[in-house]
């Protein structure tokens, strides 16, 4: 028995899984390891062959092919539910950074379309057009990198497109970073004397005295309760941090 093999409109034999559609374009069909059907399309057989090789490479590398419509924002929503081990204020800052700057525009990009250059261009846009400080972009990058790393872990991406994406921008704006210098003991005393003698600012003296001589952060200081302060042993227990964020 002779089996007639499929051919295109130019009488070229089509391999298993390839078809020519009514609009003359070409289609490659395959099933994943779960038996789910997938298809890719191309205008020519050569282009279809390239896409077929991508499918084969993804299959061999264990890359999840069911990612066609998955966006960065979809991964972010998953990241929010999985992320653990962060302080409340840190997690709130991360979510603010992403939702304020990434989610409205860049986060809509599909993972299948995302390239390394897209991430670098996004950071440049934030710096050059939105005039966001590099320190703030660094915080945005921290969240975005973690979100995209989740895509690598789940085999949606072969690599993280945000790896080293901030390096060039930091180098270009290196002059923006000012070296911070701590006050000397003498400068601290001058500052405290000013507060003591100022009718306008004297009420800040206890706050700044504690900060200057303990090194406590603002959130730690404002989170103190009376039971955290032991005047007999002259100790302060830092057990809480004041977190200020929108519950919307």
What is the model's pLDDT at position 25? Answer: 77
CA dist., res. 42 & res. 46, Å (int):
8
Half-sphere exposure of residue 82: CA atoms within 13 angstroms, side-chain side: 13
Please state whether 15 falls in left (phi above 0), alpha (psi between -120 and 50) or beta: beta
pTM here is 0.57
Domains of the chain in start order, with CATH, are 1-66 (3.30.160.60), 72-176 (1.10.150.130), 185-236 (no CATH)
Determine the straight-line distance between the first and last CA of the chain, rounded to whole angstroms: 70
- How would you class 131 by CB atoms within 10 Å of its CB: exposed for 0-12, middle for 13-18, buried for 19 or more? exposed
pLDDT in tens, the chain (248 residues): 333 445 555 555 566 666 666 666 777 665 655 566 666 677 777 776 776 666 556 554 444 555 667 899 999 998 998 888 887 778 888 999 999 999 999 999 998 889 999 999 999 999 999 999 888 899 999 999 999 998 888 878 888 999 999 888 888 777 665 677 889 999 999 999 999 999 999 999 999 999 999 999 888 898 899 999 999 999 999 988 877 666 55
DSSP code per residue over the chain:
-PPPPPB-TT-PBPPTTEEE-TTS-EEEEEE-TT--EEEEEESSHHHHHHHHHHHHHHHHHT--S--TT-BHHHHHHHHHHH--S--HHHHHHHHHHIIIIITTTGGGSBGGG--HHHHHHHHHHHHHTS---HHHHHHHHHHHHHHHHHHHHTTS-SS-TTTTTTHHHHHHTGGG-PPP-PPPHHHHHHHHHHHHH-TTTGGGHHHHHHHHHH---HHHHHT--GGGEETTTTEE------------
């Amino acid at each position: 028995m002779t089996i007639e093999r499929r051919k295109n409109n130019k009488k070229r034999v089509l391999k298993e899984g390839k078809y020519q559609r009514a609009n003359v374009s070409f289609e490659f069909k395959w099933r994943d390891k779960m038996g789910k059907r997938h298809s890719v399309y191309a205008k020519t057989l050569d282009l279809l062959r390239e896409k077929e090789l991508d499918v084969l490479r993804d299959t061999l590398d264990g890359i999840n092919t069911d990612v066609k419509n998955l966006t960065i924002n979809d991964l972010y929503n998953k990241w929010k539910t999985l992320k653990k081990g962060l302080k409340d204020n840190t997690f709130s800052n991360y979510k603010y950074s992403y939702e304020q700057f990434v989610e409205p525009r860049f986060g809509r990009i599909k993972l299948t379309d995302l390239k390394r250059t897209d991430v670098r261009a996004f950071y440049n846009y934030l710096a050059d057009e939105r005039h966001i400080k590099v320190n703030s972009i660094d915080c945005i990058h921290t969240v975005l990198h973690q979100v995209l790393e989740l895509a690598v872990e789940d085999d949606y991406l072969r690599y993280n497109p945000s790896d080293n994406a901030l390096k060039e921008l930091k180098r270009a704006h290196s002059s923006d970073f000012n070296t911070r210098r701590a006050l000397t003991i003498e400068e601290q005393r001058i500052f405290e004397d000013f507060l003591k003698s100022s009718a306008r600012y004297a009420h800040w003296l206890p706050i700044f005295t504690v900060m200057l001589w303990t090194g406590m952060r603002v959130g730690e200081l404002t989170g103190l309760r009376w039971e955290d302060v032991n005047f007999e042993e002259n100790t302060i227990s830092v057990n809480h941090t004041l977190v200020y964020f929108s519950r919307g």
